[in-house]
Chain A
Amino acid sequence: QSALTQPASVSGSPGQSITISCTGTSSEVGGYDHVSWYQQHPGKAPKLMIYDVSNRPSGVSNRFSGSKSGNTASLTISGLQAEDEADYYCNSYTTSTTVLFGGGTKLTVL
């Protein structure tokens, strides 16, 4: 199993919107609506931001949204804030009943 494909880095200015992609195959991302997104600050545990493609857990800002088209899922952050600067990971359920993570994306807020 190869990791899901994410861009290594993205950047944006405060107030702007950015989108991070997560590309897989029909065996995971494209086959199930079970993609989640996590935010990880340095030295901290990951935090769940989106689950089942587009659902936000309680307490997560509505500036975070998710979507999916075919084998690619996307995380959009609108109204970028300094505290959004972090690493972001997607994961997906797979046909083998396992879980596969993306390689991670470093978000820089300029």
Chain B
Amino acid sequence: QVQLQESGPGLVKPSETLSLTCSVSGDSISSHNWNWIRQPAGKGLEWIGRIYNSGRSSNYNPSLNSRVTMSMDTSKNQFSLKMSSVTAADTAVYFCARGREYSRFDYWGQGTLVTVSS
């Protein structure tokens, strides 16, 4: 059974960098692609980006591209998200998810709430 678990600070100050890690069990992150998706309270889902090819390749949402970096640690079977210069608009539940080809996200973490506030 594939399981994903997000971890990281629940509170980040404005202008600082948000950092989250997704730990994966039941599958190797060297296979498939691995995604971050977020959801502000009461709003819809927004795809942030994906990392794949053992961390050598990534694609990001154009609206966030300049602030987002994803990385992968295959030795720990984890992948990570860094988002710089955060504002209150970045307050959301952040999900990690396994991606199969194209737009199919078949396993999700439970989500972690990140609040941007001073």
Interface residues of A (CB under 8 A from B): 1, 3, 32, 34-36, 38, 44-48, 51-52, 57, 89, 91-93, 96-104
Contacts and interface: CB of A to CB of B under 8 A. Distances in A.
Contacts of A44: 110
Contacts of A91: 45, 47, 103, 105
Contact of A92 (B44, B59, B95, B103): B103
Contacts of B60: 98
A1 B62 contact: yes
Given A45-B109, A98-B62, A93 B103 contact: yes
A34 B110 CA distance: 24
B63 A103 contact: no
B79 interface: no
Contact of B44 (A35, A52, A102): A102
Contacts of A45: 95, 108-111
A48 B102 CA distance: 14
Most chain B beta carbons < 10 A, residue from A3, A93, A101: A101
B106 A101 contact: no
A101 B46 contact: yes
B44 A89 contact: yes
10 closest Cβ pairs, A-B complex: A34-B102, A45-B108, A93-B102, A51-B104, A104-B44, A99-B47, A93-B103, A101-B45, A103-B44, A99-B103
A1 B44 CA distance: 14
30 contacts: A1-B61, A1-B63, A3-B44, A34-B103, A36-B104, A38-B45, A38-B105, A45-B108, A45-B110, A45-B111, A46-B45, A46-B105, A47-B108, A48-B104, A48-B105, A51-B103, A51-B106, A89-B45, A93-B103, A97-B59, A98-B47, A98-B62, A99-B103, A100-B47, A101-B44, A101-B47, A102-B44, A103-B44, A104-B43, A104-B44
